Amino acid sequence: MVITVNFFGPLAQWAGSKSFIGEGKTIRQVFESLEVQIGKSVLDHLVNEGTEELKSHFHVLLNGKDTELKGGLSEIVHDGDIITCVPPVGGG
């Protein structure tokens, strides 16, 4: 199963690239699979320690839809899905 993970803004700089291919049955497993490619933990960067919740300023989208409204990191993924990680955005 091939899942594309896209990072935007400072997250792409942190990860070292804008796009990765991960594997897994859930968003959490896909993020875990990226640790070898990135060399550091995506989950440690995006998730509050000791919880399953994303840090409040990050958004993770599955095929363009916010995962907070669904199953969060436990959301099931399918071959060809796209996970998008969006950092905080401010404006004025």
Whole-number pLDDT of residue 85: 94
* Helix runs in 1-92, H state only: 10-15, 27-33, 35-38, 42-46
Question: Coil, strand, or helix at residue 55?
Answer: coil
* CA–CA dist 70, 74 (Å, integer): 9
CATH fold, domain 3-86, is Ubiquitin-like (UB roll) (3.10.20)
| Whether 48 contacts 40, CB under 8 Å | no
Whole-number pLDDT of residue 14: 93
pLDDT at 25 over 90: yes
Tell me the pLDDT band of 1, cut-offs 50, 70 and 90: confident
The residue extents of the domains of the chain are: 3-86
Whole-number pLDDT of residue 90: 64
Q: What is the mean pLDDT of residues 66-73?
A: 79
Contacts 24+ apart (CB under 8 A), 33-36: 34/5
Q: What percent of the chain has pLDDT over 90?
A: 61
Average pLDDT taken over every residue of the chain: 89
Whole-number pLDDT of residue 30: 96
